[in-house]
Each structure stands twice: as structure tokens, then as C-alpha cells.
Amino acid sequence: MERDHTSPSLTLQSAGVRVTPQRLAVFEELRESGEHLSAEALFRRVKERQPSLSLATVYRTLDMLREAGLIVEGRLGDERNFYEANVEPHFHLICLNCHEVRDLSPEGAEALHREAEANSGYRIHWSRLEFFGTCEACQARQPEMARA
């Protein structure tokens, strides 16, 4: 899992968008954490460094980053969106119990894309491949969960 070490400001500049402290902080937080975060969670984290930050700016920034292809958007089981800086094709595993989102190896993701295009005649732009289940930790904690 080699991480991209390009500075966020360079990446924003090369995407041709205006660079502001808010945008830098949001993008940096997402990249450095390597996590899958909701807009709300991201807002709380970045607000510690920038108390004047507003949630609307976070949403606008995430939209902008997604359109620039710098982040990807997914959706949690509880119907909130989440965002992450890993833009390579991969699957998501979402625990129905602890709601943690983890990545699944990208093996087969591109093949699946190509297969879907071949079988359907569609031109695939993006996809959402998410598995919802119980993670190992939660299974161990509450064995009965495994059947819910």
C-alpha cells in the first residue's frame, strides 16, 4: 500500500482549481488519514485546526475534489456518503455492526468493469461495489451477529 507523497497544494494546483486553506486542509486530512470519512466526520476533524470552517464548505470542497478525480465517494449503510483519497478501483467492505469501512483488494475490479461493458453494451464510467456484512472483530465479539 504505497501512498502518494505529492503535496496537496501541488495536486490542487495541477487540477487547475483555486487553492484555499480550507480546501488544502480537507484534502490533506483525507489523504493523510487514509480513512473512509463522512463529510460530518471530516468537518469535525478539520474544524479543530480551522474553527471558522463551515460544513457547507466541506461539502463544496468534496464535490470539487470528486469532480477533479482526486477523491472518490461511496455510501455507508446508514445512508451517509463517505469519501476517501484512494481513487484506484477497489471494493468496499462495510460492517453492519461497527460501520467501519475497509478496502478489499482490487483484484478483479477492472476485469469486472470490462466484462460488464462487454456483456451490456454500456460504457461504464464508475461503479459502486460494496459488500455489507459483519467484520471478524464483531463476529468474535457477538457470535450471534453472524446471522442477523
Partner DNA sequence: CTGTCTGCAAAGCGTTTGCATAAAA
Partner DNA sequence: TTTTATGCAAACGCTTTGCAGACAG
Identify the residue among 15, 44, 50, 103 touching DNA (CB under 7 A): 50
Number of residues forming the site for a copy of itself (CB under 8 A): 35
- Is 102:135 a contact under the CB 8 Å cutoff? yes
The answer to the question of residue 56 lying near DNA (CB under 7 A) is yes
Considering the complex, state which of residue 48 and residue 67 has its C-beta at the smaller distance from a copy of itself.
67
Strand segments, DSSP code E, in 30-112 are 37-38, 72-75, 81-84, 91-95, 101-104
Minimum distance, C-beta of residue 99 to a copy of itself, in the bound complex (Å)? 13
Considering the complex, state which of residue 50 and residue 139 has its C-beta at the smaller distance from a copy of itself.
139
Backbone dihedral angles phi then psi of residue 68, each to the nearest 5 degrees: -80, -5
> Which does residue 5 touch among a copy of itself, DNA, none (CB within 5 to 8 A, set by kind)?
none
Q: Stretches 1-9, 50-58, 61-69, 112-120: which one binds a copy of itself (CB under 8 A)?
A: 112-120
Other beta carbons within 10 angstroms of residue 58's beta carbon come to 26
- Is 22:62 a contact under the CB 8 Å cutoff? no
Estimate the crossing angle of helix 39-49 against helix 21-33, to 10 degrees.
120
Q: Show the cell assigned to 53.
A: 470552517
The answer to the question of residue 126 lying near DNA (CB under 7 A) is no
Q: Stretches 78-86, 96-104, 127-135, 139-147: which one binds DNA (CB under 7 A)?
A: 78-86
Identify the residue among 1, 91, 106, 142 touching a copy of itself (CB under 8 A): 91
Which positions ≥6 away from 126 have C-beta within 8 Å? Answer: none
Identify the residue among 33, 81, 97, 139 touching DNA (CB under 7 A): 81
